[in-house]
Amino acid sequence: ISPFASVELAPRDPILGLTEQYNADTRPGKVNLGVGVYYDDEGRIPLLQSVRRAEQARLEAAAARGYLPIDGIANYNQGAQKLLLGEGSPLVAEGRVLTVQTLGGTGALKVGADFLRAFLPDAKVAISDPSWENHRALFERAGFDVVTYAYYDAATRGLNFAGMTDSLRALPEGSIVVLHACCHNPTGVDPTAEQWAEILEIVKARKLVPFMDIAYQGFGDGLEQDAQVVRRFADAGLTMLISSSFSKSFSLYGERVGALTVVAGNKEETGRVLSQVKRTIRTNYSNPPTHGASVVAAVLNSPELFKLWDEELAGMRDRIRLMRQELVNKVKAHGATQDLSFVVKQRGMFSYSGLSAAQVETLREESGIYALSTGRICVAALNSRNIDVVAAAIAKALK
Ligand code: PLP
């Protein structure tokens, strides 16, 4: 008898499962809004010019592929740090910040979670309700007890701020709180600057440990603007963790480019934390891969390529905004009477559309339009060719 005889089948990943279903659909007009990927107006995952140029230079340089250090490429880590904390951050000057290259944002969360579990084993981890579907599983796998804090208000299609602050205040002191720094996934609903100020006060008062997840920097209002929350928390003197992902902002999903940044209490502590973070990496996958991070480092460290990237990112951001506005206009034009202005207010790639699970099912069955059963749609998968069909189908489903 096999030692694996009692292994149970794991549940299917809901998003990847939906994509399998979509791929098997033979209808020509099908649209997949269930993904978490930016597509251009032609419906393709873009290869950014800034990336292409950095890759060409890398190819020409024909560099050997030795092992990277455990913490990755130094000027990649510095570049990622600068994007988060800004040029000339006093925290960096004080030696209170460490950044390590990770396998995407997920890798940063996992390395951070494993580190935290080793040193704060009894802390609870609080995630938003709802949150990115991997947050709970990832922190539970690391051994934590995961709870939720109130976040989304289905009635207003906005933030349940009173609920959020109540639940944060009720957390045991020293709990770890996972916060989406901008462009909340899956709702698209972010706190305002004033609300963040209040959240910061609660985090301080309750001695919570913020773990900021920033996977969409540049998709809200811009690279600098989207980092404001991270900077405010760091400037307030908090010790915190930050997971960054460049999957979306560089359109480099498969290269697994991310970073874990830790703001520690002082310089000496930073050294000790870094040594333990590196140990976590060493015992997991030893050291990270070269290509994606070399390309990102080249863009981040070249003023010319950086400018090009920033413009390309603005192009993606503007296209998503346009699709939000057009969706609202067209759904209305198709006769829907509901107030859909929240779709335009939401930020980032996603919209909690307010569609019910039954309406989502109708969209799929009748029109070949795929969305998550929660009603989350990826606005970045809309384009000038599919938006009419989608708008008409949504208007019909809303009737
Ligand atoms: N965190 C959030 C909120 C995300 O939405 C995602 C990706 O969808 C990630 C982290 C993970 O990013 P990556 O693909 O770089 O691992």
Name the residue among 206, 268, 263 with its Cα closest to residue 236.
263
In the DSSP assignment, the letter for residue 11 is P
> CA 120, CA 347: separation in Å to the nearest integer?
33
Cα(275) to ligand 1 centroid in Å equals 25
Determine the atom of ligand 1 nearest the C-alpha atom of 109.
10
Instruction: Give per-residue pLDDT as tens, 255-295.
Output: 999 999 999 999 999 999 999 999 999 999 999 999 999 99
Instruction: Give per-residue pLDDT as tens, 189-212.
Output: 999 999 999 999 999 999 999 999
Measured between its terminal Cα atoms, the distance across the chain in Å is 57
Q: What is the largest CA-CA distance in the chain?
A: 64
Determine the atom of ligand 1 nearest the C-alpha atom of 253.
14
Name the residue among 123, 105, 125 with its Cα closest to residue 181.
105
What's the confidence (pLDDT) of residue 181?
A: 97
Confidence band of 16 (pLDDT split at 50, 70, 90): confident
pTM over 0.90: yes
Instruction: Give per-residue pLDDT as tens, 129-142.
Output: 999 999 999 999 99
Cα(109) to ligand 1 centroid in Å equals 9
Whether the Cβ atoms of residue 52 and residue 32 lie closer than 8 Å to each other: no
- Residue 18 CB-density burial (10 A; 0-12 exposed, 13-18 middle, 19+ buried): buried
For tokens 């916060």, name the residue: 179
Name the residue among 380, 389, 365 with its Cα closest to residue 33.
380
Determine the atom of ligand 1 nearest the C-alpha atom of 108.
16
Cα(163) to ligand 1 centroid in Å equals 25
Confidence band of 399 (pLDDT split at 50, 70, 90): confident
Please indicate whether residue 132 is annotated as part of the active site. yes
Please indicate whether residue 396 is annotated as part of the active site. no
Please indicate whether residue 309 is annotated as part of the active site. no
Q: Decide whether any atom of ligand 1 lies within 6 Å of the 217 Cβ.
A: no
What's the confidence (pLDDT) of residue 15?
A: 81
Whether the Cβ atoms of residue 10 and residue 370 lie closer than 8 Å to each other: no
Alpha carbon nearest to ligand 1 atom 6, residue: 215
- With a pLDDT cut of 90, the percent of the chain lying above it is 94
Determine the atom of ligand 1 nearest the C-alpha atom of 213.
1
> CA 286, CA 186: separation in Å to the nearest integer?
32
SS3 of 204, please? helix
Structure tokens at 2: 């096999």
Q: Decide whether any atom of ligand 1 lies within 6 Å of the 215 Cβ.
A: yes
Cα(62) to ligand 1 centroid in Å equals 31
Whether the Cβ atoms of residue 293 and residue 52 lie closer than 8 Å to each other: no
Confidence band of 14 (pLDDT split at 50, 70, 90): confident
Q: Left if phi > 0, otherwise alpha if psi is -120 to 50, otherwise beta: which for 286?
A: left
Cα(338) to ligand 1 centroid in Å equals 31
Alpha carbon nearest to ligand 1 atom 9, residue: 105
- The pick from 16, 245, 249, 250 for probing ligand 1's pocket by mutation, whose C-beta has the most ligand atoms within 8 angstroms, reads 245
